[in-house]
Amino acid sequence: MEFPDLGKHCSEKTCKQLDFLPLKCDGCNKDFCKDHHKFSRHQCSAAYKKDVHVPVCPLCRAPVPVGRGEIADIVVGKHMDNDCKYNPAKEKPKIFIHRCTMEGCKKKEMVKLVCDQCQDNFCIKHRHPLDHNCKHRDHPISKAGCAAIMRASESGASKKLSSNWLVQQLRGKQKC
């Protein structure tokens, strides 16, 4: 052999494979091959020092310390019964609470989008009077509503709009 000092033998009693890139265990500081470098594969005596899992309370999201030899489920249960700071009244408030009043629409928005004419709350899709068939059509329509009428009439979507209403609005009753 040309390089007798290159590599090390695996410290696992049953393996003893010569490995040219051995891996050192964090717990016991012995050299192992790629097959035995994990704690469980070589029954590491110091695995408990490195392989630490801290359970978290499912209610208050606080870490719960578990002593050596204790069962995590029992310790977390005791924490939930005695020390848990969980308060259901302090839960995060819901953000999307403003529901659209358009029939059949179930969308909710973060901010109220109130129609200037009928004073109902709508989602972004139905916020304009034309989009939700506003009941108060005799009120003057907003600039946004005029822009929507113009876009609809130019894009060929005028079939969607009530043609009588569009004619009334554009005839001179309302100037956009």
Q: What is the pLDDT of residues 90-137, one digit of tens each?
A: 667 778 888 999 889 999 988 998 988 888 999 999 888 878 877 765
| pLDDT of the residue at 167 | 54
Element (H, E) at 153: helix 143-154
Q: Work out whether the CA dihedral 100, 102, 103, 107 comes out positive or negative.
A: negative
User: Would you give the distance in Å from CA 158 to the centre of its chain?
Assistant: 40
Query: Which residue spans of the chain are classified as CATH 4.10.1110.10?
Result: 1-52
CATH assignment of 98-173, among 2.40.10, 4.10.1110, 3.40.50, 3.40.960: 4.10.1110
3-state secondary structure of 62: coil
CATH (residue range 1-52): 4.10.1110.10
Q: What pTM value is reported for the model?
A: 0.32
What does pLDDT average to over the chain? 79
Q: What pLDDT is recorded for position 78?
A: 92
Provide the pLDDT for residue 41: 84
Q: Which residues of the chain have pLDDT under 50?
A: 158, 172-175
Quote the pLDDT of residue 63: 92
pLDDT for position 138: 58
Specify the DSSP element, H or E, that contains 144: helix 143-154
- Tell me the residue length of the chain: 176
Beta-carbon contacts of residue 153 (< 8 Å; ≥ 6 apart): 161, 166, 170
